[in-house]
Amino acid sequence: MRVLLIGSGGREHALAVSLASDPAVDHLIAAPGNPGIAQVASLRPVTATDPAAVADLAVEVAADLVVVGPEAPLVAGVADAVRAKGIACFGPSGAAAQLEGSKEFAKDVMAAAGVPTARYRACSAPDEVRAALDEFGPPYVVKNDALAAGKGVVVTSSIADALAHAADCGHVVVEEFLPGPEVSLFVVTDGTTAVPLMPAQDFKRVGDDDAGPNTGGMGAYAPLAWTPDDLVERVMRETVEPTLAEMRSRGTAFAGLLYVGLALTADGPKVIEFNARFGDPETQVVLSLLETPLAGLLRAAATGTLAAHPPLTWRPGAAITVVVASHNYPGTPRTGDVITGAELPGVIHAGTSRRDDGALISSGGRVLSVTATGEDLTAARTAAYALVDEITLDGSHHRTDIALKAARGEVTVPS
């Protein structure tokens, strides 16, 4: 099978490692890719958000399967353009990707499907925003309606900050705060059949003990020993199946990866967000534990044959990933700093590039993520942090507490 992978971040590097190790894959091409992905795939340039350019490239490289990593190409309709060429594509249509592309659309689908989620108001005018903030009370949750690369959401106890974020965004969703630990559940679907992967937990805040602003994600781990035994079965029944049915009934079936971001509240799991693609950095840990060959699974979803796919198998043990971020991230990150140690096994490239002289340099906010497995979370933490110590990047920072509370048995679900 010839697989073309679209994207250039840490999620795509993790996907590339898994796709390259699938014995059914004889050629892996990535576009535009990054220096880490170049270790396991041949790279081609492309503007990932240009549907015609991606579709032409898929034809040119004779792809049997195209896997679209990030949300922006999906929302732009890249999967539609690839399928129009008669090539199987893992990733939802532009219409279905609105589950991520518009927070208000996602809320509307959830309401129609009866999915448990935070109460909300969609608004633009400052007085409407103010009324919604007063209705739900602090902590205030204000979400940009449109895609914002993981930085569209402000959760704050300051009404001034909440109002300022709403004014910056224009059209927003204001919603009630959901207390409880967060879980990311990835579901592979062909639109009808849905297969859950292993739940993972992401760390959204920049600093240890969840201090500081939200980021795209500073680390992740799996499995989650502290979740209720029926969590996945319950979320599939209460959230995933009704959402997929609602999307089918609208004539825009969702096929691809449905990312369900949940808060485990005292009233049960409630949806914080949907994304239309694998999460980053959760993908790094989930895929490092998945034993089932990835390309076969994604091809089954892309060709509507998931019902015939064998059950997934998982490696024993635990995985963690720690993001190494640039100076000043999540503010405007400093780029162009030289990186050493990034060729070590387990180092996933996200924001890296090659300087003209061949040196590896930082080119984004989240530069690398360091992934390790172990017999339990404590062993995986020790291995991952030892690897973080092997990396040098001037001004970089990382969280030191990824999976720490879980390893100590200190994560609990409110009751």
Q: Provide the binding-site residues for ligand GLY, judged by CB under 6 A.
A: 150, 202, 217, 275, 279-280, 282
Q: Are 12 and 24 in contact (CB under 8 A)?
A: no
Q: From residue 100 to residue 119, what is the string marking binding to ligand AMP with x (rule CB under 6 A)? A: ------------------x-
Phi, psi of 281 (to 5 degrees): -100, 15
Instruction: Map the footprint of ligand AMP across residues 31-50, applying CB under 6 A.
Output: none
Residue 165 contact among ligand AMP, ligand GLY, none, beta carbon within 5 to 8 Å by kind: none
CA 128 to chain centre: 31
Q: CA-to-CA distance for 186 and 18, rounded, in angstroms?
A: 16
Q: Are 256 and 79 in contact (CB under 8 A)?
A: yes
Q: Which of 272, 290, 387, 403 binds ligand AMP (CB under 6 A)?
A: 272
Q: How many CA atoms lie within 13 A of 207 on its CB side?
A: 4
Cβ closest to ligand AMP, residue 118 vs residue 361:
118
| Stretch near ligand AMP under the rule CB under 6 A, chosen from 9-17, 64-72, 172-180, 391-399 | 172-180
Cβ closest to ligand GLY, residue 80 vs residue 202:
202
Residue 118 contact among ligand AMP, ligand GLY, none, beta carbon within 5 to 8 Å by kind: ligand AMP
Size of the site for ligand AMP (CB under 6 A): 15
Interaction between residue 182 and ligand AMP (CB under 6 A): yes
Q: How far is CA 169 from CA 45, 113, 305, in A?
A: 32, 27, 41
Q: What residues contact residue 262 under an 8 Å CB cut-off, 6+ apart?
A: 182, 183, 184, 185, 235, 239, 269, 270, 271, 272
Phi, psi of 65 (to 5 degrees): -150, 135
Q: Which of 108, 146, 156, 177 binds ligand AMP (CB under 6 A)?
A: 177
Q: Which of 11, 13, 204, 381 binds ligand AMP (CB under 6 A)?
A: 204
Q: What are the tokens at 179?
A: 């207390």
Least CB distance to ligand GLY at residue 80 (A): 22
Residue 361 contact among ligand AMP, ligand GLY, none, beta carbon within 5 to 8 Å by kind: none
Least CB distance to ligand GLY at residue 206 (A): 13
Residue 214 contact among ligand AMP, ligand GLY, none, beta carbon within 5 to 8 Å by kind: ligand AMP
Q: From residue 217 to residue 256, what is the string marking binding to ligand AMP with x (rule CB under 6 A)? A: ----------------------------------------
Q: Which of 39, 192, 214, 292 binds ligand AMP (CB under 6 A)?
A: 214
Q: Are 103 and 145 in contact (CB under 8 A)?
A: yes
Least CB distance to ligand AMP at residue 172 (A): 12
Handedness of CA 36, 39, 45, 48 (dihedral sign): negative
Cβ closest to ligand GLY, residue 140 vs residue 278:
278
Residue 282 contact among ligand GLY, ligand AMP, none, beta carbon within 5 to 8 Å by kind: ligand GLY
Q: CA-to-CA distance for 35 and 186, rounded, in angstroms?
A: 26
Q: CA-to-CA distance for 403 and 322, rounded, in angstroms?
A: 10
Least CB distance to ligand AMP at residue 170 (A): 17
Q: Are 263 and 270 in contact (CB under 8 A)?
A: yes
Residue 246 contact among ligand AMP, ligand GLY, none, beta carbon within 5 to 8 Å by kind: none
Q: Which of 20, 29, 141, 361 binds ligand AMP (CB under 6 A)?
A: 141
Residue 141 contact among ligand AMP, ligand GLY, none, beta carbon within 5 to 8 Å by kind: ligand AMP
Q: Which of 29, 89, 153, 377 binds ligand AMP (CB under 6 A)?
A: 153
Q: How far is CA 195 from CA 21, 256, 313, 330, in A?
A: 21, 11, 12, 33
Binding interface with ligand AMP (CB under 6 A): 118, 141, 143, 153, 155, 175, 177-178, 182, 204, 214, 261, 263, 272-273
